[in-house]
Structure 1
Amino acid sequence: MLRAISKKQFDAYCYVRQPIVRVYSREIAWFEAVNRKLLAFIVFDCTDSDFGHIILGRDSRKLFRCISVSGNFFATSEEAYADLETAIIPFINDGQDFYPQGDEVVPPHEIFSPFVKEEKQHPYFKMLANEERFEAARNLIKEIAYSFVDVDGNYIQQFQSDGFDARLWELYLYVYLYNAGFEFIRDEVEIGPDGQVRSVFLTPSTTPTIKTVKSEQHTYKHKTIPSKFFKQPNSENVSAVLYSNAATITTFNRMGKLAGLGSRDIKMIRQGMKAHPDPSSFHPIPFAADVDDPDYEEAWGDSIVMYHNPDALHPVDPFPDISHIIYDEATDEFSAILNPNEIFSSVTFVLVPTAAED
């Protein structure tokens, strides 16, 4: 009836946790039932030191949300689980696939339903939507999109056409911020970006300093821009610049694979360069890993770097689980707060089995 699943599997489907909940409770076990019609988890109440359970079902937007909370809390997780087994039975046999909550105002964001004519679809979107090797990415992105708020009203159209790269980056940033424990604040924004975020958890650690090399400008092909972006007029209004080279289909594919959303027959082998375990080293080390290896781990923030503006009107506190570069004008040096799992670059080989010939 109930099947235990990993936290990564649960996280791939659940995007409704409020960050503050993590302060006074802790999830300790995760489950699914009826071919993932229902999700559930055992929760530890940090205030009262007892255990309860929560059951989730899809609302009319296909977003998993709470539909039942345990009426009693228990001294042990085993007692909470026994109560969960009883509490979930009515939902298993109710004949419903969805549990409307009355506040849904938009239909589900079906990000892969054709919205743009095929001849105008981005080639990467076609690849993602149709190729067997990207099944895990496709399934994961589909789930994330159900919870994504389309502020401009044209997200799916751009995702499928000429805005694919920018919109994939937006989705990547969204899922990183959600999993890192940030709260999205959209109703306070009148003009400007699509939203604001407020942090709840910060876990920085310090590492080495980097000497600067003077440069007045940067040229790429036929375009030249001035150096020292943070010294340009009005740049004090930019608190920091967030950079990542990992907002790619391949990253979503690996994360989907880790969450069990892809075929077991498809193999993914990743190799590249990662941060040296010695914090004083400036040289990365090579790595190679099988994504199916039980010891393989990956997080959304593994390849994100934030460059802080020393003259910012509103400095940003370090985000959790990413790397940070901070410039000290007094010493003319950069200090780094490095994520120990920082991946500088990588390639992933996706191996798809072929049918045997007679």
Structure 2
Amino acid sequence: MAPIVINPISYSRFNALATYARNPRVKSHSNELEWFETFDGKVLGMLLFDTIDNEYTGIIFSRDLNKKYRYIDMTEFDDNRAKTKKRLLSKIRELHPSADEQGVQGDESVETMDFFIDLNKKNINSDFLLVKDSPEYSAAKNIIEPLMRWYADIDGNFVEQFQTTGFNQRVWEVLLYCIFTENDCVFDTSFNAPDFNLSYINGFNSIPFSIEATTVNKPIDRRGQPIPMPKVNRENIDEYNNLLVNYFPTRYSGPLLAKLKKKYWEQEHVSGKPFAIAIADCQFKGAGNVSHDALPLYLYGFQQKVTSEGAEEREKIGCHIWGTKEIPSGFFDLEGAENISAILFSPANDIDKFNRMGLKDGFNDNKYKIRRTVKSPNIHTWEYELITKIVPNKKYTETWDEGLVVYHNPNALHPFPIYILPNASHYHVIDGRLVVEFNSPPITEDMSEIII
């Protein structure tokens, strides 16, 4: 019999496959060092270091009846890393023949979701079909499949909307799920609203908070026909500024005001905790790359400009007007908005994000690459630069929360803790100025091009 092939894998691939196979609390007293996967994906292994006893151990996982990776065994503790790793690999080979039986836990009562099941619907979304059937999106499909095993459908209509009228909205929700999982948060699925009720695990401390997801969708007229995007030359500064100051704020206002009226904070499980709204612009592909600068204008009610002398000046915005629509500026100043701790946003909110992450971590069946171009400020000159990278590449790195922006409400009753999302760009109003805090330069535009 040929020996069982065991491949070393990246931390991010392990997370995509089985992030919730371990409790985030374990990280408070251990460091994960290496991760492994058998050639057929039946068994996963993890080498970790216990920081309390200064010893190494290996953990083994296999799939249960719902195809979720679960703990099945571990090696004995040892102060020798090489010896422990050898034992781990040996035990993986030993358990591999019986992996299917070993993984059964006896508590598999909930049927695993299948995002790609054939629902025989007539109004199937064309972008969904692209992901389901196109070879150039196999990485996106293949990384979503293990992720969906952990996703809880609290509304009961996730798959139908994912395949039909709500594809972009549901992709945004799955991305948020990945972001908060990556940042050591635990999900409470006991409630069907807001969309995410979570606890951030920091050592042995648990900080509860809630998130409601929403999107800016393609506008339609009274007959249900799409209204085309205003034709504006981005090279024309006045035309583009008018778009940012007036058109896009009127588009952001609709979904945000609708969520404000829901008053989620009055629910017992949300009351007294940070509550944020996560919004994505899905009016057209790459819309967030164009409209990102408009969101803070609407949220804070002022535009911050740099004069020709290099000084900053603040220009108050009373209202946003586009056509017959007029809305007051300053969402955070509206009645009831003090209950909204922050607004979350990302320009990289579509299926291209999953395609890149899947390519990066080896989830593609087909030979294709992605040229990714991001627009980001040079932290030394603050001049914006276009940076192009090819995926996959051995040196390429990307996290689920890369490009995420958190706009903090200066009037919040329960401020959103920065440490929950340390890799995001955090905007605050301090002494009347909008300032940003970040660990890595913000990404204002994120574009992907598939290379065959």
TM-score, normalized by the shorter chain, greater than 0.5: yes
Deviations 1:31-73 (A, max 9, x none): 1114111110101101111100111111111111111122x10
Which whole-Å CA distance do the structure 2 matches of 1:210 and 1:165 have between them?
37
Maintained 8 Å contact 2:42/2:99: no
Which whole-Å CA distance do the structure 1 matches of 2:165 and 2:344 have between them?
23
Deviations 1:264-292 (A, max 9, x none): 621111113123232xx543211111112
Q: Which segment is superposed worse, 343-352 or 193-202?
A: 193-202
**Counterpart pick for 1:45 among 36, 50, 61:** 50
**Counterpart pick for 2:113 among 106, 109, 112:** 109
Q: Does 1:291 align with 2:391?
A: yes
Structure 1 residues without counterparts, runs of 5 or longer: 203-208, 353-358
The residue number in structure 2 matching 1:213 is 315
- CA distance 1:30–1:341, change in 2 (3 Å): farther
**1:250-289 alignment runs, 5 A limit:** 250-263=352-365, 265-278=367-380, 281-289=381-389
Higher helix share: 2
Residue 8 of structure 1: CA displacement?
A: 2.3
Runs of 4+ in 1 over 6 A off after TM superposition: none
Q: Which segment is superposed worse, 215-224 or 27-36?
A: 215-224
One-letter identity of the residue aligned with 1:348: S
**1:87-126 alignment runs, 5 A limit:** 87-94=91-98, 96=100, 99-117=103-121, 119-126=122-129
Which whole-Å CA distance do the structure 2 matches of 1:122 and 1:276 have between them?
39
**Counterpart pick for 1:242 among 344, 350, 359:** 344
- CA distance 1:326–1:201, change in 2 (3 Å): farther
Deviations 1:67-93 (A, max 9, x none): 1122x1011221111211332233212
One-letter identity of the residue aligned with 1:199: Y
- CA distance 1:87–1:227, change in 2 (3 Å): same
The residue number in structure 2 matching 1:313 is 413
Which whole-Å CA distance do the structure 1 matches of 2:167 and 2:323 have between them?
24
Q: Does 1:86 align with 2:90?
A: yes
- CA distance 1:126–1:61, change in 2 (3 Å): same
Q: Which segment is superposed worse, 18-27 or 45-54?
A: 18-27
Residue 160 of structure 1: CA displacement?
A: 0.8
Residue 186 of structure 1: CA displacement?
A: 3.3
Residue 221 of structure 1: CA displacement?
A: 5.7
The residue number in structure 2 matching 1:75 is 79
Maintained 8 Å contact 1:30/1:41: yes
Which whole-Å CA distance do the structure 2 matches of 1:102 and 1:234 have between them?
46
Residue 116 of structure 1: CA displacement?
A: 4.7
CA RMSD of aligned residues (A): 2.1
Q: Does 1:186 align with 2:189?
A: yes
Maintained 8 Å contact 1:269/1:350: yes
Q: Which segment is superposed worse, 338-347 or 4-13?
A: 338-347
Residue 136 of structure 1: CA displacement?
A: 0.3
Q: Secondary structure at the match of 1:96?
A: helix
Deviations 1:236-274 (A, max 9, x none): 111111111211110100000011001462111111312
Which whole-Å CA distance do the structure 2 matches of 1:245 and 1:297 have between them?
18
**1:159-170 alignment runs, 5 A limit:** 159-170=162-173
One-letter identity of the residue aligned with 1:161: T
TM-score (norm 2): 0.71
Q: Secondary structure at the match of 1:315?
A: coil
The residue number in structure 2 matching 1:132 is 135
Which whole-Å CA distance do the structure 1 matches of 2:359 and 2:82 have between them?
30
Residue 343 of structure 1: CA displacement?
A: 1.9
- CA distance 1:68–1:95, change in 2 (3 Å): closer
Of the two structures, which has the highest relative contact order with CA contacts closer than 8 Å and spacing of 6 or more? 1
Which whole-Å CA distance do the structure 1 matches of 2:98 and 2:160 have between them?
36
Maintained 8 Å contact 2:343/2:408: yes
Which whole-Å CA distance do the structure 2 matches of 1:272 and 1:288 have between them?
7
Maintained 8 Å contact 1:34/1:92: no
Maintained 8 Å contact 1:210/1:334: no
- CA distance 1:163–1:220, change in 2 (3 Å): farther
Q: Does 1:152 align with 2:155?
A: yes
Q: Does 1:59 align with 2:64?
A: yes
Identity of aligned residues (%): 29
One-letter identity of the residue aligned with 1:214: K
Deviations 1:88-125 (A, max 9, x none): 233212272772212222212111111251x2111111
Residue 212 of structure 1: CA displacement?
A: 3.5
Which whole-Å CA distance do the structure 1 matches of 2:92 and 2:156 have between them?
37
The residue number in structure 2 matching 1:196 is 197
**Counterpart pick for 1:9 among 13, 36, 39:** 13
- CA distance 1:221–1:38, change in 2 (3 Å): farther
Q: Secondary structure at the match of 2:201?
A: coil
Q: Secondary structure at the match of 1:40?
A: strand
Which whole-Å CA distance do the structure 1 matches of 2:159 and 2:114 have between them?
8
Residue 341 of structure 1: CA displacement?
A: 4.3
Q: Which segment is superposed worse, 249-258 or 85-94?
A: 85-94
Structure 2 residues without counterparts, runs of 5 or longer: 204-310
